[in-house]
Structure 1
Amino acid sequence: MSLENIPKDPVMLMSFLNMKLRDHYSSLEAFADDMDINEQELKSITDKLQNAGFTYDSARKQFV
């Protein structure tokens, strides 16, 4: 999966990532690795979510 197939809207992106993390991955890093998303791209995604007010809770494996 490339970044172009990931939702652009921050709320949709958060929902998409939380679903993927809940159903398929043990961590955000595992998701990125499996989706061939490099560290810089992952930072871009998390920055976009942080700018929208969401933070990643690694203990819960989700953005809140």
Structure 2
Amino acid sequence: MTTLPKDPVMLLSFTNMQLRDNYSSLDEFCKSFMIDKKDIISALSNIDYEYDSRTNQFI
């Protein structure tokens, strides 16, 4: 099991890379890593990023 980065900037980079390379949606990513979607959205909103489903990335 992969542990997600705790640092928000590293989490952003890791998540966007995974979304780009391996997952077609945030839901699929969260299911695979067994994390609550609300938790990752909250963590990245703290550094002013939000999920854009059209581009499947946090912007």
> Within 1, Cα distance between the matches of 2:39 and 2:29?
15
Unaligned runs of 5+ in 2: none
Deviation digits for residues 21-56 of structure 1 (CA, Å, limit 9, x no counterpart): 00000000011112222xxx3211210100110011
Once the two structures are TM-superposed, the CA of residue 12 in structure 1 deviates from its matched residue by: 0.6
Give % identity.
51
Alignment of 1:33-48 (within 5 A): 33-37=31-35, 41-48=36-43
Please report the TM-score for the alignment, with normalisation by the length of structure 2: 0.88
| CA–CA separation in structure 1 for the residues paired with 2:43 and 2:33 | 18
Gaps of 5+ in 1: none
If the length of structure 1 is used for normalisation, what is the TM-score? 0.82
Higher helix fraction (1 or 2):
1
Instruction: Let me know the Cα RMSD of the aligned residues.
Output: 1.3
